[in-house]
């Protein structure tokens, strides 16, 4: 069964079960500064899960384009170490927004996986896990009993702790709950041994589906309180299921990847069968798909040194680096991207629409990185000259390149470690890779902490203060338009529990009078106690209603519009307070330049 057929079957199955089919959210989130990329199907429903939004349906299904750049096996540097983890993938998902719960979710998951008219997987090769229970929440016996009722044997149902079978909250507080995961046996035997299950024989069981039961809210004091509205959030990995149904042991062999692997073989004159090259093949294939979807999904994101553009740049440069390891010297990214677009343009039509943009940006970045490599070669030679001068002065000859020096080449000039090792070998030297790794891990930890700080708002932190500040950005945006003019457009936003940061288009430094007037308008809107209303509209309807948005091809078929009384109306994903009176006193603490033509405001809200 090919991937397009699996996708279509999934959507039709849940449509028949009363679910509304909705389009995938953009892979680059719009109106949500708290996410680098859409990393799960539930992102577009997070306001509902937080109790801050509503939909006109309670059952929903979609296929979501996802990019993950952190988490187990999803770090960029880790891709390629196995066949099942990727930075870009498709997640099939169904949701219950206060409708069915555990029984409904498990019944439908089982029917779709094993039903003769659907995927028809061998029931004897399926195992599941449930939540073991701890001091915060009890053992999920309900899910276990539901699986037993399906005919699963006791030894194929394992109870695992919170780090395995619990979702969320995404931040310190918020909705969360136990999950039940479904696995398929991918070991060497026709049927799994009696004592084999995801706990005792983890490497031979592939997780394919996860049903999350969000039935608790974690409070600020660490308590888990049952939610009045219980929701279901599921995710089924399209590529993983296709791998099983096509009888492959390697996802890179399914039809979503195989033409790409063949293209890499053609342009490199190497073979995917050669163990020396497997990791490079996988890195190139995975990263070119991610790069194509970022460029094709939102033409506002191009390779850069910040935010999503930085991740995109890292994808492309890792592709080029691993291409060099395969012996590819000429430009090749556009050729691979062309192959990806041909594979994926049905159903992702935006890739075809933006084909020229994708190919030109990849070619331009490949040119830029070529200059980077040349600069790195010059710096390497400078480093060698420095060692030689030190030897002449002290008489001490080096026998290796310190890891911190190799890391400086990597971090400052983007020079790949493998190239440093290759050049060092030509000079009879080794590289202290252990120290390089230590430097790299320290760098990653600093980056991780920085990212957590930068993106801890929204669903990543559902605290009351963050929600108040997020709502205040809407009032600020409108107030700036009133004070400075309609040319003001949001150009970025970052919210922590301490403050909001708002970037906007404006050529001049704001005067003290303009700052004071902006504050007064925001505080007046807060005092008036406007109710916040959430509506789902098509982009055209949102535009006609006066909602603020960029209105280009990044939107899907529907958008979420938040109205602050009759004061402002803006496309956003939430979360927000229910009434502006909950925000508190708004104060601008700093106004400064962010970049050419872009100003930046930092502001706080205080309790009154």
Domain boundary among 345, 378, 411: 378
Q: How far is CA 95 from CA 109, 272, 426, 508, in A?
A: 12, 39, 57, 47
- Report how far residue 181's alpha carbon sits from residue 304's, in angstroms, rounded to the nearest whole number: 38
Range in 45-49, 96-100, 415-419 the model is least confident about: 45-49
Contact present, 470 and 495 (Cβ < 8 Å): yes
pLDDT (0 to 100) of residue 55 = 85
Residue closest to 492 by CA, chosen among 454, 465, 518: 454
Domain boundary among 196, 225, 252: 252
Structural domain contains residue 405: no
pTM of the model: 0.70
Range in 68-77, 310-319, 557-566 the model is least confident about: 68-77
pLDDT of 468-496, one tens digit each? 999 999 999 999 999 999 889 888 888 88
pLDDT (0 to 100) of residue 348 = 94
Q: Could you tell me which residue, 497 or 393, shows the higher pLDDT?
A: 393
Residues 220 and 91 in one domain: yes
Residues 314 and 220 in one domain: no
Residues 157 and 265 in one domain: no
Structural domain contains residue 552: yes
Residues 39 and 89 in one domain: yes
Report phi then psi at 593, rounded to 5: -80, 140
Alpha-carbon torsion (517, 518, 521, 527), positive or negative: negative
Report percent pLDDT > 70 for the chain. Answer: 91
pLDDT of 453 higher than 50: no
Residues 183 and 262 in one domain: no
CATH number, domain of 9, equals: 3.30.930.10
pLDDT (0 to 100) of residue 357 = 94
Residue closest to 510 by CA, chosen among 472, 480, 470: 480
pLDDT of 219-244, one tens digit each? 888 889 998 889 999 999 999 999 99
pLDDT (0 to 100) of residue 450 = 54
Structural domain contains residue 524: yes
pLDDT (0 to 100) of residue 447 = 59
Residue closest to 103 by CA, chosen among 59, 143, 154, 157: 143
Structural domain contains residue 20: yes
pLDDT (0 to 100) of residue 454 = 45
pLDDT of 160-196, one tens digit each? 999 899 987 755 677 889 999 999 999 999 999 999 9
Residues 318 and 204 in one domain: no
Residues 370 and 331 in one domain: yes
Residues 170 and 279 in one domain: no
pLDDT of 569-600, one tens digit each? 988 876 788 899 999 999 999 999 887 788 99
pLDDT (0 to 100) of residue 73 = 40
pLDDT of 331 higher than 90: yes
Range in 108-112, 391-395, 446-450, 515-519 the model is least confident about: 446-450
Structural domain contains residue 432: no
Residues 477 and 570 in one domain: yes
Structural domain contains residue 289: yes
Structural domain contains residue 544: yes
CATH number, domain of 519, equals: 3.30.980.10
pLDDT of 410-445, one tens digit each? 887 778 787 788 788 878 899 999 999 898 888 777
Residues 60 and 100 in one domain: yes
Q: How far is CA 80 from CA 18, 75, 76, 280, 315, in A?
A: 39, 10, 9, 7, 13
Structural domain contains residue 404: no
pLDDT (0 to 100) of residue 306 = 73
What domain count does the chain have? 3
- Domain holding 343, by residue range, is 257-378
pLDDT grade, residue 551 (50/70/90)? very low
pLDDT of 130-165, one tens digit each? 999 999 899 999 999 999 999 999 999 999 999 899
Residues 306 and 171 in one domain: no
Residues 265 and 151 in one domain: no
Torsion of CA 332, 333, 338, 340, to 10 degrees: 120
- Report how far residue 366's alpha carbon sits from residue 315's, in angstroms, rounded to the nearest whole number: 11
Domain boundary among 252, 275, 293: 252
């Amino acid at each position: 069964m090919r991937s397009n057929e699996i996708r279509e079957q999934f959507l039709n199955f849940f449509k028949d079960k009363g679910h509304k089919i909705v389009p995938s959210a953009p892979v680059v989130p719009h109106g949500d500064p708290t996410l680098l990329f859409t990393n799960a199907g539930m992102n577009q429903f997070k306001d509902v899960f937080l109790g801050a939004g509503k939909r006109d349906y309670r059952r929903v299904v979609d296929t979501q384009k996802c990019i993950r750049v952190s988490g187990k096996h999803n770090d960029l540097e880790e891709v390629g170490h196995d066949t099942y983890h990727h930075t870009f993938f498709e997640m099939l998902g169904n949701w219950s927004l206060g409708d069915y719960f555990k029984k409904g979710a498990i019944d439908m998951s089982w029917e779709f996986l094993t039903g003769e008219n659907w995927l028809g997987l061998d029931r004897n090769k399926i195992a599941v896990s449930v939540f073991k229970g701890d001091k915060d929440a009890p053992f999920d016996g309900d899910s276990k009993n539901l699986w037993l009722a399906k005919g699963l044997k006791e030894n194929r149902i394992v109870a695992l702790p919170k780090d395995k079978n619990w979702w969320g909250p995404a931040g310190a507080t918020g909705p969360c709950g136990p999950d039940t995961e479904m696995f398929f046996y991918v070991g060497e035997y026709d049927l799994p041994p009696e004592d084999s299950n995801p706990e005792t024989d983890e490497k031979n069981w592939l997780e394919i589906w996860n049903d999350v039961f969000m039935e608790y809210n974690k409070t600020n004091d660490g308590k888990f309180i049952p939610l009045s509205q219980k929701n279901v959030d599921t995710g089924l990995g399209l590529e993983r299921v296709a791998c099983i149904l096509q009888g492959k042991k390697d996802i890179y062999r399914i039809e979503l990847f195989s033409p790409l692997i063949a293209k890499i073989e053609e342009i490199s004159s190497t073979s995917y069968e050669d163990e020396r090259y497997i990791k490079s093949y996988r890195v190139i294939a995975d990263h070119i798909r991610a790069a194509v979807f970022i460029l094709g999904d939102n033409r506002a994101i191009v390779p850069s040194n910040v935010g999503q553009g930085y991740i995109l740049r890292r994808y492309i440069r890792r592709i080029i680096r691993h291409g060099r390891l395969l012996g590819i010297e000429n430009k090749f990214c556009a050729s691979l991207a062309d192959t990806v677009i041909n594979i994926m343009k049905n159903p992702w039509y935006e890739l075809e629409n933006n084909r020229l943009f994708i190919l030109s940006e990849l070619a331009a970045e490949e040119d830029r990185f070529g200059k980077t490599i040349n600069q790195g070669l010059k710096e390497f030679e400078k480093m060698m000259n420095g060692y030689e001068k030190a030897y002449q002065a002290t008489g001490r000859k080096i026998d290796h390149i310190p890891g911190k020096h190799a890391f400086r080449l990597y971090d400052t000039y983007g020079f790949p470690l493998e190239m440093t090792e290759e050049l060092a070998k030509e000079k009879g030297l080794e590289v202290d890779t252990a120290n390089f790794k230590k430097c790299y891990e320290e760098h990653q930890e600093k980056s991780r902490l920085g990212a957590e700080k930068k993106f801890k708002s929204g669903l990543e932190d559902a605290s009351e203060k963050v929600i108040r500040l997020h709502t205040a950005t809407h009032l600020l945006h409108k107030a700036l338009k009133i004070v400075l003019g309609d040319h003001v457009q949001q150009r970025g936003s970052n919210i922590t529990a301490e403050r909001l940061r708002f970037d906007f288009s404006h050529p001049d430094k704001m005067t003290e009078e303009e700052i004071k007037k902006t504050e007064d308008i925001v505080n007046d809107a807060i005092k008036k106690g406007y109710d916040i209303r959430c509506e789902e509209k098509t982009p055209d309807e949102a535009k006609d209603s006066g909602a603020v948005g960029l209105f280009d091809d990044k939107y899907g078929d529907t958008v979420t519009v938040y109205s602050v009384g009759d004061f402002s109306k803006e496309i956003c994903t939430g979360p927000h307070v229910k009434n502006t009176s909950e925000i508190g006193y708004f104060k601008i603490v700093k106004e400064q330049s962010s970049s050419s033509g872009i100003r930046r405001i930092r502001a706080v809200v205080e309790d009154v």
